[in-house]
Amino acid sequence: MNDARIITPKQASAPHARAVADEIAWLGDCIDLRLRHFFAGSSDPFVLPVPPVPAAESALAVLLREPEMTPAARLVLALAVAPHVNSAALDPFYVRNSAIDRIFSEFGGQPAGQGAFMPTAETALFLLAGTDTVARIAAMRLFEPDHPLRRKAGLTLGASGTVHGAVLDLPVQRIIALCDGTPPRPDFTPSFPARRLTTGLGWEDLIVPRAVRDQLEHILAWQVGRRRILDDWGLGRHVGRGFKALFFGPPGTGKTLAATLLGQRTGLDVYRVDLSMVVSKYIGETEKNLGRIFDMAAECDWVLFFDEADALFGARTPSANSNDRYANQEVSYLLQRIEECESLVILASNLRGNIDDAFFRRFQAAVGFSRPSAAERVQLWTGIAADLPLAADVDIRRLAGDHDLTGAAITNVVRHAAISALRGGHAEISDQDLRLAITAEMRKEGRTS
């Protein structure tokens, strides 16, 4: 299908977009030459035209550094990209076979709703090998799971009764990445159960004890200086390139915010893994889902954040039956992938004791978050309510001292009070608005104010 996103003129002048445009033009030459060869019934060997040389700084050029990205592989990639950026390049495949009044079955393809030709594996095999069965079988190597087309470019084959009939599919984020050079950022879907975390807050907004901040600064220092430590100082011969941390503590104490801010400070994307979508009752699906996330994290140098990690990283049980053995197998797979991961991986749990002991030797840091002290609550109240119109009777210090609330709870209280003031037609948030909001929040937590 044609992607609805528009590439701006500024992007179009970039080396990334020019490289893709040149590749599609080369694809057009390949299609024209193959069709001439096919309709002429030629028995001469078919040779692909020489592909263009993309600008060295383009995303396409980076991908082509993979040894297996041969001209044949480039042709398959260009086929997959063409419907998204210039579907007219594939119009020649709509020539009809007059004998049966339909397009040639040799060309493969599936018409899309708007009439655009959607190339399939059959289309790629036709361009590369024509009707030569032996050459077609050899070309099918391009669709194997370990090929860079699948592993690096993200090419997948759509559902079909046969391999040949499967549509060549590239995720939208991969198309965008090739066209403008931005890192691929997958949408949050069942096929990719991880969501990018962002925040409008800064490092100074994280209110935690000094010891916790020192531990977070330690992780930050690793992220910033890891290449110097590992490569220049030679520690890379003895330790892995990744860093694994456990964040534990009560809900609302800043674990998610800390992970997000670590990414913000280092310029890395942080992805929170939704374990409820990762775990599958079908054998092998959990590992496949996790493998997809870890592979993308390795490619893009993401920070991976496993919230409520005890759901999958909890204590392993004795293998009383096949279900227990499979559950333990999942944990073992996770241990292996975490061990191999070269990115920053953060596991979060409400209780330290909920995490399997086998994980602890794999953690380079275990950071304990606690409920804020009275002084920290003053800072939290002050920061959260800084721009709000508070009435003269509001005493932030008294509220902070009287009520043991976490940062997340204080945020909820302030929002509730703001809504109450708005509903009442008041220009300011009163002490009563805040105290009623505190009572509602405490009741939600099963406590009394």
Helix (H) or strand (E) holding 368: strand 365-368
Average of pLDDT values for 127-155? 91
- The pLDDT value recorded for residue 172 is 86
Cβ atoms of 370 and 250 closer than 8 Å: yes
Instruction: Report which secondary-structure segment, H or E, holds 376.
Output: helix 374-384
Residue-level pLDDT at 12: 47
Q: What per-residue confidence (pLDDT) applies to 71?
A: 96
SS3 285: helix
Residue 280, SS3 per DSSP: coil
Structure tokens of 214?
Answer: 């020192």
pLDDT of 336 strictly over 90: no
**In the predicted structure, residue 39 carries a pLDDT above the cut 50:** yes
pLDDT band at 184 (very low <50, low <70, confident <90, very high): confident
The interaxial angle of helices 71-85 and 15-39, nearest 10 deg, is 110
What is the Cα 315 distance to its own chain's centre? 27
- The predicted structure's pLDDT at residue 397: 95
pLDDT band at 329 (very low <50, low <70, confident <90, very high): low
Model pLDDT, residue 96: 78
Q: What number is the average pLDDT over the span 10-21?
A: 78
Q: How far is CA 39 from the centre of its chain?
A: 45
* Overall size of the chain counted in residues: 449
For strand 270-273 and strand 156-157, is the pairing parallel, antiparallel, or unpaired? unpaired
d(CA 213, CA 252): 16
Instruction: Give 262-271 pLDDT, tens digit per residue.
Output: 999 999 999 9
Of all helices (H) and strands (E), which one includes residue 78?
A: helix 71-85
- CA separation for the pair 76, 82 (Å, rounded): 10
Query: How would residue 313 be classed by pLDDT, with cut points 50, 70 and 90?
Result: low
Contact 155, 170 (CB under 8 A): yes
Residue 221 has pLDDT above 90, yes or no: yes
pLDDT over threshold 80, residue 433: yes
Q: Which one, of 350, 420, 410, 354, lies nearest residue 385 by Cα?
A: 410
For residues 156-175, give the mean pLDDT.
Answer: 83
What is the overall mean pLDDT for the chain?
87
The mean pLDDT value for 296-322 works out to 73
pLDDT in tens, 189-209: 777 889 999 999 999 999 999
Here the tokens at position 62 are 């980076």
Kindly list the structural domains of the chain, giving each domain's residue range(s) and its CATH number in brackets, ordered by start: 9-180 (no CATH), 194-368 (3.40.50.300), 374-444 (1.10.8.60)
- For the segment 37-46, the average pLDDT, to the nearest whole number, is 90
pLDDT tier at 328, thresholds 50, 70, 90: low
Of residues 61 and 312, more confidently modeled: 61
Output the pLDDT for position 111: 61
3-state secondary structure labels for all residues of 217-243: HHHHHHHHHHHHHHHHCCHHHCCCCCE
DSSP conformation class of 445: T
Nearest to 347 by CA among 404, 306, 318: 306
**pLDDT (average), residues 296-318:** 77
Q: Tell me: pLDDT of 282 over 70.
A: no
d(CA 28, CA 130): 16
Strand pairing partners for 194?
273
By percentage, how much of the chain surpasses pLDDT 90?
60
Task: Say how far apart CA 419 and CA 203 lie, in whole Å.
Answer: 28
pTM across the whole model: 0.75
Residue 277 has pLDDT above 80, yes or no: no
Q: What is the amino acid identity at position 379?
A: Q
* Residue 390 Rama label (left phi>0; alpha psi -120 to 50; beta): beta
pLDDT of residue 3: 43
pLDDT at 139 (0 to 100): 94
The band of 141, judged by pLDDT with boundaries at 50, 70 and 90, is very high
* CB-based contact 107:123 (threshold 8 Å): yes
pLDDT of residue 147: 92
In this prediction, residue 67 has a pLDDT band, given cuts at 50, 70 and 90, of very high
Instruction: Give the pLDDT of residue 249.
Output: 93
